[in-house]
A and B are shown apart, each in its own frame.
Chain A
Amino acid sequence: ETGVTQSPTHLIKTRGQQVTLRCSSQSGHNTVSWYQQALGQGPQFIFQYYREEENGRGNFPPRFSGLQFPNYSSELNVNALELDDSALYLCASSTGTALNTEAFFGQGTRLTVV
């Protein structure tokens, strides 16, 4: 158990809808990163939040947005869902943003867009 929890674990949405995924970081961790993992691929970096501010973003369109709360939990919002958004969404928490800091992953939310 990493102490990082994500909800929901599974979700089915219709194309064009909006979805919010949630992540509770491990106690003491102030940094949360979100990743998208399509079937058969490695996780792809979406963005990172550090102390409630976006601290970097991968190659994802603006309809992917996020938020970090004062308790360092985080949300990932995706608008105008597309079929290709079907994937496992992972969040990872860590203490700070140093490159050698270990990131701990939650179990993920499996999103299916139909």
Chain B
Amino acid sequence: RKEVEQDPGPFNVPEGATVAFNCTYSNSASQSFFWYRQDCRKEPKLLMSVYSSGNEDGRFTAQLNRASQYISLLIRDSKLSDSATYLCVVTTPGSARQLTFGSGTQLTVLP
């Protein structure tokens, strides 16, 4: 079983749609949680951190459920520029700040 699992998609949605991505993680000791965005053939970039209380950044809302080991990302009013792969990322305690990535969910926003 992978440490971080995501629905690979692809998700093809029209502009203006609301889309939700889900992610589960297997290590209950995981401590920090993030969503990264990766454009085609580019490096991953931090989209937002995820907190237990839930957090919002403009059109993006992230939620964490530690009991279910579940992370979500909601994108409202999708824009063409949101087209990318969204990577769910967790860190676990240890000597290294190792980021453990899911395989990513591909989103295409259609005009």
**In which size bucket is the chain A interface?**
20 to 34
B58 CB-CB contact with A under 8 Å? no
B49 CB-CB contact with A under 8 Å? yes
**In which size bucket is the chain B interface?**
20 to 34
Give B72-111 interface residues, CB cut-off 8 Å to A: 87, 89, 91, 93-104
Interface residues, chain A, with chain B CB atoms under 8 Å away: 2, 31, 33, 35, 40-45, 47-48, 50, 55-58, 90, 92, 94, 97-103, 105-108, 110
B4 CB-CB contact with A under 8 Å? yes
Contact B103 A56 (CB under 8 A): no
Give B29-77 interface residues, CB cut-off 8 Å to A: 31-32, 41-46, 49
Which residues of chain A are near B101, meaning CB under 8 Å? 35, 42-44
Contact B103 A42 (CB under 8 A): yes
Distance in angstroms between the alpha carbons of A101 and B101 in the assembled complex: 16
Contact A48 B45 (CB under 8 A): no
